[in-house]
Structure 1
Amino acid sequence: MDFKKSKYGRFMNSRVPPNKRYRPTEYEHVANCATHALWIIPSILGSSFLYFLSDNQWESITACIYGFALSGLFTVSTVFHTISWKKSHLRTVEHCLHMCDRMVIYFFIAASYAPWLNLRELGPWASHMRWVIWIMACVGTAYVFFFHERYKIVELVCYTVMSVFPALVILSMANSDGLFELIMGGMSYFLGIVFFKSDGLVPFAHAIWHLFVAVGAGVHYYAIWKYLYVPGTTEMKTSR
């Protein structure tokens, strides 16, 4: 269906060339801002809750890492989309924020794995993956810095590889509690990619992608809270 020729056409811009960044309509700008702004406060409160549930310093550090990345993802995205909407004439500021918006995704992926890699007994590979995941985040950040918006498909592949690779270690968990939620959250992210790549083809595609991200993050937060931080799960955690 060609949405551009339908009654929904006024809600979306035309598809742009691969080397150009998609420019949302006014309607899409509002949706892009709102769909992540709504989750800033809940992410901060949820992260603080994990911190206060922590039984030791290692859990507290892990809660802070995860919390900063979770709230940072929604905050940076909201700020970027707001500037892109209201202050697009500030080209340098918008460009820097767009880079930050892409960079923070790498660290959010790493931080989402951190509680499982830090607090679960996963076997010998886990100790290596705890650091490998952050090295991957740094490499991804460097890629964005040097090749921002130049090779979009390569960037998407980088995000996908970083999302899947650590899961090979997670699957080695002797205790599989939380694995179902991890898979469901991951599926939400991957389904959202369809809309992430549909800007200019589907109305509010980017905002829909934001919603899939929010759902995936929410499911993963629930799993981390329930299986790693709720009192009574101590036996499932790695002693430090």
Structure 2
Amino acid sequence: MDFKKTKYGRFMNNRVPSSKRYQPTEYEHAANCATHGLWIIPSILGSSLLYFLSDDQWESITAWLYGTGLSGLFIMSTMFHTVSWKKSHLQRVEQRFHMCDRMVIYFFIAASYAPWLNLRELGPWAAHMRWLVWIMACVGSAYVFFFHEKNKILDLLCYTVMGAIPALVLLSMPNREGVLELSMGGVFYCLGVVFFKSDGLIPFAHAIWHVFVAVGAGIHYYAIWRYLYATGSHMKTSR
């Protein structure tokens, strides 16, 4: 379906070649800012709740790591889209914010796995993943710094691989509670990628992608709260 030929065509610009960046309309800019900006305060409050539910220092550190990654994702995304909307003439500034926005995604992925890797019993090899995810995040950020927007398909592949490898490791958990929610959240992230790559084809495609990210993150937060913090220390592994 060609949305440009419908009444919704005014909400989006034409598709651009892969070598160029899509320029959202004013409507899309506003939606891009709102769809992640609305989750900044809830993510901070939710992260604080996990911190106060912590039974020991290790759980407190884990809550802080997870909360920083979760809140940082929504904050940086909103900042970048605001700058892209209102200060697009400052190309160097916009580029720096875009790079930071891409880098934060790597640390968000690592932070999303941190509670499961830190607070659940894992196999001997899998235990190393709790450090490997952060190394992967650093490597991914270095890649963004040196090769920002050079190969968009490779960028997407890097995010996908980083999101998939720790998920496979978590299947080794003796306690499988929460795996369903983790899978559901992953499905929303994957479905959202369809819209992430649909700028110029579907109105508000990037904003819809933001909604899928928020839903996936919300499902993962619920699982972390329910199975790792709200259930008490009897569900957690000794470290």
The two structures, once aligned, show a CA RMSD in angstroms of: 0.8
In the TM superposition, 1:33-52 aligns within 5 A as: 33-52=33-52
DSSP 3-state at the match of 2:223: helix
Residue 231 of structure 1 and its aligned partner are, at CA, apart by 4.1
Does 2:236 correspond to 1:237? yes
Partner of 2:134: 134
**Deviation, structure 1 residue 50:** 0.2
Structure 1 counterpart of 2:108: 108
Q: Secondary structure at the match of 1:173?
A: coil
- 1:59 paired with 2:59, answer yes
1:131 to partner: Cα distance: 1.1
Equivalences for residues 154-193 of structure 1 within 5 A: 154-193=154-193
CA distance in structure 2 between the aligned counterparts of 1:127 and 1:191, rounded to whole angstroms:
29
Of the structure 1 ranges 165-174 and 202-211, higher mean CA displacement relative to structure 2 is found in 165-174
Q: Distance in 2 between matches of 1:59 and 1:204?
A: 39
Q: Which moved more, 1:85-94 or 1:39-48?
A: 85-94
Name the SS of the counterpart of 1:166 in structure 2: helix
* 1:11 and 2:7 correspond: no
> What is the CA deviation profile of residues 154-194 of structure 1, one whole-angstrom value per residue up to 9, with x for unaligned ones?
00000000000011110111111101000000000000000
- For the 8 Å contact 1:21–1:149, the answer to whether it is kept is no
How far apart, CA to CA, are the structure 2 residues paired with 1:70 and 1:21?
A: 26
Partner AA of 2:143 in structure 1: Y
Measured against aligned partners, the alpha-carbon deviations of 1:85-114 in whole angstroms (never above 9, x if no partner) come to 011111111100000011100000000000
Task: Using structure 1 for the length normalisation, give the TM-score.
Answer: 0.98
Partner of 2:97 in structure 1?
Answer: 97
CA drift of 1:236 comes to 2.4
Residue 2 (structure 1) shift: 0.5
- For structure 2, which runs of at least 5 residues remain unmatched after alignment? none
Residues 56-84 of structure 1, C-alpha deviations (whole Å, 9 max, x = no match): 00000000000001000000000100011
Q: CA deviation at 1:235?
A: 2.3
Q: State whether residues 3 and 202 of structure 1, in contact with CA within 8 Å, keep that contact through their aligned partners in structure 2.
A: yes
Deviation (angstroms), 1:238: 2.0
What is the rounded CA distance, in whole Å, between the counterparts of 1:51 and 1:212 in structure 2? 26
| Alignment check: 8 A CA contact 1:178 1:223 kept | yes
Cα distance in 1, alignment partners of residues 238 and 57 from structure 2: 11
Q: Which residue of 2 aligns with 1:205?
A: 205
Quick one: distance in 2 between partners of 1:196 and 1:50? 30
Equivalents in 2 of 1:42, 1:214: separation in Å?
11
SS in 2 for 1:202: coil
1:214 equivalent to 2:199? Answer no
Q: Whole-Å Cα distance in 1 between the matches of residues 231 and 139 of structure 2?
A: 37
Runs of 4 or more above 2 Å deviation? none
